[in-house]
Amino acid sequence: MNLPLFSAVQVGDVLPALTLPPVSRHTLALFAGGSGDHNPLHIDFDFARQAGFADVFAQGMLGMAWLGRLLTGWVPQAQLRQWSVRFTAVTHVGDVLTCQGRVVEKQDRAAATDEDRVRVAIEMVDARGEVKIAGEALVALPDGTA
Amino acid sequence: MIDTRWIGETLPPAELTLERGRLRFFAKAIGETDPVYVDLEAARAAGHPDLPAPPTFLFAAELDAGAAFWLVARLGVPLARILHGEQGFAYERLVYAGETLAVHTRIADIYTKRNGALEFVVLESRVVDAHGAAVGSQRSVWVARHPAASLTEAT
């Protein structure tokens, strides 16, 4: 993986987008087991209906894991310092999702951190453009002279 | 209403040993195709001692701590009424298969919005390695819907 250099990255640069196959019940079931989130709202249609939902829906952390793939597809994971997201809309079975990111700020090396960092706005949207998850990540980048 | 006396309460500490099989299963579940996360040789070729845990995997440790179910039992909030509002991570270093991590979670805040129609519980966790050194932290905001509030209002 070629690590982008801090000096070469500009505000407004976009990350290579990650487009996902339509959300399936199979994926929700696998993620329940893999993540340890056994909440039946995501895998048991009967439970979801009884709770007042029309159908099961995706675990929020499944979407965040996909946003994680967006970030680690751009830089090695060790460069990721911190990130946070808000879950703004429910992801439904059949949704076709895209994860995208954009550099919104360059933070020059500071005494407190001793490294150059960029702030990246990230979001997961469906085919109609509805934002399902939105957030930000702080990523350390080499300056190319070290 | 959730009793605000729970603010500051610590959850039972949890231990999670990262297993290669679990990490590979997690990678499969999220469609991860980067061999670094599933192929030991690829991971080592990239300079890792073993398979690394992906960025959100620490959350599984918190779930294994039974955080959600502890909330249900202690705070009196039915699982069907809880939604995940926000999630954040900060990292000191990567963690790898073979490591045993401990998660220490506390209830950082409890507050309501819309005259109590929505209740918020903020959890903050420190994750430490077998030597007690910090490897990262996470922050979760959970939203409990009052029965009268619709899903649309909650999101």
What is the per-residue pLDDT for B66?
A: 66
CB contact under 8 A, A34 and B29: yes
Mean predicted confidence (pLDDT) in B119-135:
95
CB contact under 8 A, A65 and B34: no
All residues of chain B having their beta carbon less than 8 Å from the beta carbon of residue A77 are 52, 54-55, 94
The pLDDT tens digits for B36-78 are 999 999 999 999 999 999 999 988 766 766 666 677 777 777 7
CB contact under 8 A, A52 and B56: no
Q: Three-class SS of residue B49? A: coil
Mean predicted confidence (pLDDT) in B1-21:
88
Report DSSP letters for chain A, one per residue: -PPPPTTT--TT-BPPPEE-PPP-HHHHHHHHHHH----GGGT-HHHHHHTT-SS-B--HHHHHHHHHHHHHTTS-GGGEEEEEEEE-SPPBTT--EEEEEEEEEEE---TTT-SEEEEEEEEEEETT--EEEEEEEEEEE--S--
Return the residue in B87, B122, B124 with the most chain A beta carbons within 10 A, the one to mutate for interface testing. Answer: B87
Mean predicted confidence (pLDDT) in B12-37:
94
Contact B51, B38 (CB under 8 A): yes
Contact A108, A60 (CB under 8 A): no
Q: Does B30 touch chain A (CB under 8 A)?
A: yes
- Whole-angstrom Cα distance, residue B133 to residue B54? 19
Nearest-Cα distance to chain A for B61, in Å, is 8
Strand (E) or helix (H) holding B101? strand B100-113
Q: Three-class SS of residue B137? A: strand
> What is the residue-averaged pLDDT of chain A?
94
Is the pLDDT reported for residue B155 higher than 50? no
Least confident of B67-71, B93-97, B137-141: B67-71
Question: A60-76: buried (b, 16+ CB within 10 Å) or exposed (e) per residue?
Answer: bbbbbbbbbbbbbbbbb
Mean predicted confidence (pLDDT) in A79-91:
97
The pLDDT tens digits for A119-131 are 999 999 999 999 9
Q: Please list the helix, strand and coil fractions of chain B in percent, rounded to the nearest 5, in that order.
A: 30, 35, 35
Chain A, residues 3-32, CB within 8 A of chain B, namely: 20-21, 27, 30-31
Burial of B100 (0-12, 13-18, 19+ CB in 10 A): exposed
- Prediction pTM value: 0.93
Chain A, residues 76-105, CB within 8 A of chain B, namely: 76-78, 80-90
Task: Report how far apart, in Å, the C-alpha atoms of A89 and of each of A33, A63, A140, B116 are.
Answer: 23, 11, 29, 21
All residues of chain A having their beta carbon less than 8 Å from the beta carbon of residue B94 are 77-78
Higher per-residue pLDDT: A27 or B79: A27
CB contact under 8 A, A20 and B28: no
> What is the residue-averaged pLDDT of chain B?
88
Band (pLDDT 50/70/90 cuts) for residue B115 is: confident
All residues of chain A having their beta carbon less than 8 Å from the beta carbon of residue B85 are 86-87
What is the per-residue pLDDT for B11?
A: 86
Beta bridge partners of residue A82, listed in sequence order: A138, B90
What is the per-residue pLDDT for B72?
A: 72
Is the pLDDT reported for residue A64 higher than 50? yes
Band (pLDDT 50/70/90 cuts) for residue B148 is: low
- Whole-angstrom Cα distance, residue A44 to residue A42? 6
What is the per-residue pLDDT for B94?
A: 98
Q: Does B68 touch chain A (CB under 8 A)?
A: yes
Return the residue in A45, A74, A79, A85 with the most chain B beta carbons within 10 A, the one to mutate for interface testing. Answer: A85
Q: Does B148 touch chain A (CB under 8 A)?
A: no
CB contact under 8 A, A83 and B30: no
CB contact under 8 A, B84 and A86: no
With a CB cutoff of 8 Å and minimum separation 6, the contacts of B141 are B84, B85, B86, B87, B120, B121, B122, B123
CA angle (B13, B78, B113) in 5-degree steps: 95
What is the per-residue pLDDT for B73?
A: 77
Closest-CA residue in chain B for A42? B80
